A and B are shown apart, each in its own frame.
Chain A
Amino acid sequence: MAKVEFETPKMREYPVIPIIHADAMAHSQPFVASSQHQESLGFPGQLVDNWKEVAIDKMGELLTKYRSLKVYLDSCVKCGACTDKCHYFQGTTDPKNMPVARQDLFRKVYRRHFTFAGKYFPRLVGAEDLTEQVLGDWYKYFHQCSQCRRCSVFCPYGIDTAEISMAAREIMDTIGKGQKYCNEIIGKVHKIGNNLGLPEPALADTLQGLEEDIKDDTGFDVRLPLDVKGADVLLVTPSADFFAEPHIDGLIGYAKVFHQAGISWTLSSYASEAANFGMFIGSYDQMKKIAERVRTAALELGVKRIIVGECGHAWRVAYSFWNTLAGPFDFLDPRYPSPQHIIEFTSDLIDSGGITLDKEANDNRIVTFHDSCNVARASRMGNLPGGQFELPRKVIKAACNHFVDMPADTIREKTYCCGGGGGLLTDDLLELRVKGALPRMEALKHVVDNNGVNNVAAICAICKSQYSKVLPYYGFPRDMIVSVHQLVSNAIVLGDKQ
């Protein structure tokens, strides 16, 4: 682990388009999934003999199944609007990390096999066969895209680069060249119920320990219930919330909110994971299988509501896809959003007076907020346009006296990825993660220098872990990153209502 050697990019005073360095990241690729990890998901154990044919067949299937993919491949006019919008391009200076160039690794093969001009005059239209070299580029560079979709915001045609990355990864899984990090994790969800591989007894022990901690801290018997039948709410949260820091402080925050609101809730050991890495590898089948665990748990526990904890892509999957993947959720109480985000839940309680927050508890902090890509660009919260931007800020401001936003072109729908999203949060991609964090770190530095910001709050497990890892590379303290519900946890007034 300590062997990776690379230079952390220098933070620039004014972000400018970098000078390109061809193949600067041609050495970067994640570990390939072992046959065991591949086969447990129903993918071939290793690269199949006739991989070219299988890959082209799969591409054809995806083009029929997802019309959007065909539109995206056909409609690019090479205008260049996306080129400098990618954090990985800015941080690595590798021209293949320009979103258009990364897409073209896929597009040129599409043209060769699925367009008239590409079939008969390939060289005129930049069409190419899927060679070993091209497959190598696919594996490298489609694992240098965090599917954050910032480039799509700037594309005049609305081309969704993430869908192309997802399609490429799905094709690679189908021919036996999957990524270890994602596929090992998905296997654990099917077998144990969560990304960590945290079995029920360990989860129960962890939760009990947290109850003792809260009692020691506050004197209140705040519960973290597990597998309680008949509870009103099922909370589905990323398993990192049971394990890592600062995630676990957010979990304590959720528990205090439920406690103080007097609403019965439970976690599930069967659906002990909100994350759904099926999306990262572009596999509808894997996504569906993971999502169905939540439905099964909700039915077995007899809950009336499902609330999702602080996890970026999980909220995209829950908000945008659960209904078709595992729905209909018509057994839930129709008076509440289905599913509901923990931020929406806490926000409503702030409005109704169901909880009271003492902002002074966070007076030692000047806080900024990192919009997570999948929340910002692929979902919504509340009943107002842009609610996914407003509600987290509203909750933070209700819990803190001092809040400052980062520069406008780095937040909300233009937010920069933390550098670790989309299935890239793995040690074997550390160089990419550090370099890809550059634009976000520059924006953070701006508010640190000008406004004295000393905390950045996030609502995504990946963002929190990625920040913890990369902050020190840029000279910031590791514990600068906090959970939004950690701020709520500090500020919430427990006990009898006054």
Chain B
Amino acid sequence: MSSIEVAGKSLETDEEGYLLNLAEWTEDAAKVLAAAENVNMTEAHWEVINFLREYYDEYQIAPAVRVLTKAIGKKLGPEKGNSKYLYELFPYGPAKQACKIAGLPKPTGCV
């Protein structure tokens, strides 16, 4: 089983680098996960990550891309409420890459 090192602690991940235990996620873990993805975490990235975690707490799943863009648009202004903006932040795709950094399981299916 794979793992990542965060502040001297070893956190288990699956083959693709998603955290196995959501409860072990910390902001430091997010930074390590982001670094492995070549994503440089800025304020804008944290907005997305925090929204994902809040939504997950309530619904036990990541939000639809549209729900995410709407929420970000409300918070940061309509010019940022679109998937193009999210792809700029998370080039591999907001659903999967942002989920990984937020410590959430990977969205599965035909997505």
> Taking beta carbons and an 8 Å cutoff, which residues of A are in contact with B?
1-2, 31, 180-181, 184-185, 188, 194-199, 201-202, 205-206, 209-210, 213, 238-240, 242-245, 248, 275, 311, 425, 427-428, 461-462, 464-465, 468-469, 478-479
Kindly provide the distance from the CB of B56 to the nearest chain A CB, expressed in whole angstroms. 10
Point out the residues of chain B lying under 8 angstroms from A210, CB to CB.
66
What separation, in Å, do the CA atoms of A469 and B93 have in the docked complex?
9
What separation, in Å, do the CA atoms of A205 and B108 have in the docked complex?
19
Residue from the list B61, B70, B105 in contact with A198, Cβ < 8 A: B61
Question: Does the CB pair A197–B108 fall under 8 Å?
Answer: yes
What separation, in Å, do the CA atoms of A142 and B62 have in the docked complex?
31
Kindly provide the distance from the CB of A345 to the nearest chain B CB, expressed in whole angstroms. 21
Segment at the A interface, from B5-13, B21-29, B45-53, B95-103: B95-103
- Is B77 engaged at the interface, CB distance under 8 Å to the other chain? no
Question: Does the CB pair A244–B67 fall under 8 Å?
Answer: no
Q: Is the interface of A mostly helix, strand, loop or mixed?
A: helix
CB-nearest residue of chain B relative to A463?
A: B110
What separation, in Å, do the CA atoms of A188 and B92 have in the docked complex?
24
CB-nearest residue of chain B relative to A188?
A: B108
What separation, in Å, do the CA atoms of A188 and B108 have in the docked complex?
9
Residue from the list B16, B17, B61, B110 in contact with A197, Cβ < 8 A: B61
Residue from the list A213, A245, A427, A465 in contact with B110, Cβ < 8 A: A465
Question: Does the CB pair A427–B16 fall under 8 Å?
Answer: yes
Question: Does the CB pair B65–A213 fall under 8 Å?
Answer: no
Point out the residues of chain A lying under 8 angstroms from B107, CB to CB.
196, 243
Point out the residues of chain A lying under 8 angstroms from B109, CB to CB.
185, 188, 194-197, 238-240, 243, 275, 461
What separation, in Å, do the CA atoms of A248 and B69 have in the docked complex?
13
Question: Does the CB pair A244–B111 fall under 8 Å?
Answer: yes
| CB-based closest 8 A-B pairs | A195-B109, A461-B110, A202-B59, A240-B110, A244-B111, A196-B109, A243-B64, A462-B110
Kindly provide the distance from the CB of A314 to the nearest chain B CB, expressed in whole angstroms. 10
Number of interface residues of B (CB under 8 A): 29
What separation, in Å, do the CA atoms of A213 and B64 have in the docked complex?
14
Question: Does the CB pair A31–B60 fall under 8 Å?
Answer: no
Point out the residues of chain B lying under 8 angstroms from A188, CB to CB.
108-109
Question: Does the CB pair A244–B65 fall under 8 Å?
Answer: yes
CB-nearest residue of chain A relative to B38?
A: A2
> Apart from A210-B66, A311-B110, what 18 extra A-B contacts exist at CB < 8 Å?
A1-B16, A1-B92, A1-B96, A1-B97, A2-B92, A195-B108, A195-B110, A197-B105, A199-B61, A202-B63, A205-B67, A240-B109, A243-B64, A243-B107, A248-B64, A275-B110, A468-B93, A479-B83
Point out the residues of chain A lying under 8 angstroms from B87, CB to CB.
478
18 contacts between A and B (CB under 8 A): A1-B37, A2-B38, A31-B16, A181-B108, A197-B109, A199-B61, A202-B63, A206-B67, A240-B110, A243-B65, A243-B111, A244-B95, A248-B66, A275-B110, A461-B111, A465-B110, A478-B87, A479-B84
> Taking beta carbons and an 8 Å cutoff, which residues of B are in contact with A?
15-17, 37-38, 59-61, 63-67, 70, 83-84, 87, 92-93, 95-97, 100, 105, 107-111
Q: In the complex, how many residue pairs between chain A and chain B have their CB atoms under 8 Å apart?
A: 98
Instruction: With A1-B16, A31-B15, A465-B110 as known contacts, state yes or no: A196 contacts B100, CB within 8 Å.
Output: no
Point out the residues of chain A lying under 8 angstroms from B70, CB to CB.
209, 213
Question: Does the CB pair B108–A242 fall under 8 Å?
Answer: no
What separation, in Å, do the CA atoms of A209 and B66 have in the docked complex?
9
Question: Does the CB pair A202–B96 fall under 8 Å?
Answer: no
What separation, in Å, do the CA atoms of A209 and B65 have in the docked complex?
12
What separation, in Å, do the CA atoms of A199 and B56 have in the docked complex?
11
What separation, in Å, do the CA atoms of A2 and B92 have in the docked complex?
7
Question: Does the CB pair A185–B37 fall under 8 Å?
Answer: no
Question: Does the CB pair B66–A1 fall under 8 Å?
Answer: no
CB-nearest residue of chain A relative to B92?
A: A1
Instruction: With A243-B107, A244-B95 as known contacts, state yes or no: A205 contacts B59, CB within 8 Å.
Output: yes
What separation, in Å, do the CA atoms of A391 and B63 have in the docked complex?
33
Kindly provide the distance from the CB of B32 to the nearest chain A CB, expressed in whole angstroms. 14
CB-nearest residue of chain A relative to B15?
A: A31
Question: Does the CB pair B64–A242 fall under 8 Å?
Answer: yes
What separation, in Å, do the CA atoms of A427 and B67 have in the docked complex?
23
Point out the residues of chain B lying under 8 angstroms from A199, CB to CB.
59-61
Kindly provide the distance from the CB of B37 to the nearest chain A CB, expressed in whole angstroms. 6
What separation, in Å, do the CA atoms of A244 and B62 have in the docked complex?
11
Kindly provide the distance from the CB of A207 to the nearest chain B CB, expressed in whole angstroms. 10
Residue from the list B37, B63, B84, B110 in contact with A425, Cβ < 8 A: B110
Point out the residues of chain B lying under 8 angstroms from A181, CB to CB.
108
What separation, in Å, do the CA atoms of A88 and B44 have in the docked complex?
39
Kindly provide the distance from the CB of A461 to the nearest chain B CB, expressed in whole angstroms. 4
Question: Does the CB pair B64–A206 fall under 8 Å?
Answer: yes
Point out the residues of chain A lying under 8 angstroms from B16, CB to CB.
1, 31, 427-428
CB-nearest residue of chain A relative to B60?
A: A199
CB-nearest residue of chain B relative to A421?
A: B110
Kindly provide the distance from the CB of A243 to the nearest chain B CB, expressed in whole angstroms. 5
Question: Does the CB pair B83–A245 fall under 8 Å?
Answer: yes
Kindly provide the distance from the CB of B22 to the nearest chain A CB, expressed in whole angstroms. 14
CB-nearest residue of chain B relative to A430?
A: B92
What separation, in Å, do the CA atoms of A239 and B87 have in the docked complex?
22
CB-nearest residue of chain B relative to A196?
A: B109
Kindly provide the distance from the CB of A71 to the nearest chain B CB, expressed in whole angstroms. 32
Question: Does the CB pair B61–A196 fall under 8 Å?
Answer: yes
Point out the residues of chain B lying under 8 angstroms from A202, CB to CB.
59-61, 63
